Amino acid sequence: MKTVLITGCSSGFGLDIARLFLARDWQVVATMRTPRDDVLPPSERLRVLALDVTDPQSIRQAVEAAGPIDVLVNNAGFGVASPGELTPMATVRQVFETNTFGTIALTQAVLPQMRERRSGVVVNVTSSVTIKALPLIAAYSASKAAVNAFTESLAVELAPFGVRARLVLPGRSPETRFGDNARAHMQGMDSEAYAELVKSVFAHFADTAALTTKSQDVAEAVWRAATDPSCPMRLPAGADAQAWAAGLR
């Protein structure tokens, strides 16, 4: 029975990814910064571990506790909403520390066992904003674009060892808490210089007819990336992400 380790499982995409792998008879190591036992169905195939991807000791302890890992899903991250000019450098560093450096650090910790076994898959969940530029999320987009570049180069390096690396690019998902969490890192939205731009962006988000992504779309895309060797390097997840990737919007 194969084992998947997933980060950021307390809610949103990570939670549904964990649910799907459990439903399909995998052993699941669901990691969270603050572990909770009430968000996933009880199962003998489930372990919930503490993991802060910005803490090297936490990474080391989680990887040791997890044991052999067949698939690593780097999903943990948070959003930042702010005009690029007005994003404090402390916030830029914070978003890169989690979204980019945390992903790289955990991947580095897991790869030796995969390389030695000559099998394994790394699935990095980034964002469709790396397909189509959007305003007010420059720092967030940069943090995810960096993971794309890291993953694509990594895939070439790992191929001789029988290890795959793939990307899943979700679209906007109002049904998750991602937007609410991003509000904690929202700055500069009251700027007079960017008032019209902010107004237009929020009007678009309020459009209920706009294409969006469902959490289940992302879970299915991660499943395909993890289990289908013919899966493309970049896999858009969700109606909006797929439309952007096809150049339709």
Class of residue 239 by CB neighbours under 10 A (exposed 0-12, middle 13-18, buried 19+): middle
The Cα angle at residue 143 between residues 141 and 146, in degrees rounded to 5? 105
The first and second tokens of residue 90, run together, are 């402390």
Instruction: Catalogue the long-range contacts made by 196-200 (C-beta closer than 8 Å, 24 or more residues apart).
Output: 197/83, 197/135, 197/136, 198/136
State how far the Cα of 11 lies from the Cα of 183, in Å rounded to an integer. Answer: 16
Half-sphere exposure of residue 149, counting CA atoms within 13 Å on the CB side? 8
Of 13, 26, 140, 150, which one is the catalytic site residue?
Answer: 140
Residue 140 bears catalytic tag: yes
DSSP state of 129: G
| Token reading at 139 | 């720092």
For residue 175, which phi and psi values (nearest 5 degrees)?
-75, -15
Which positions are annotated as active-site residues?
Answer: 140
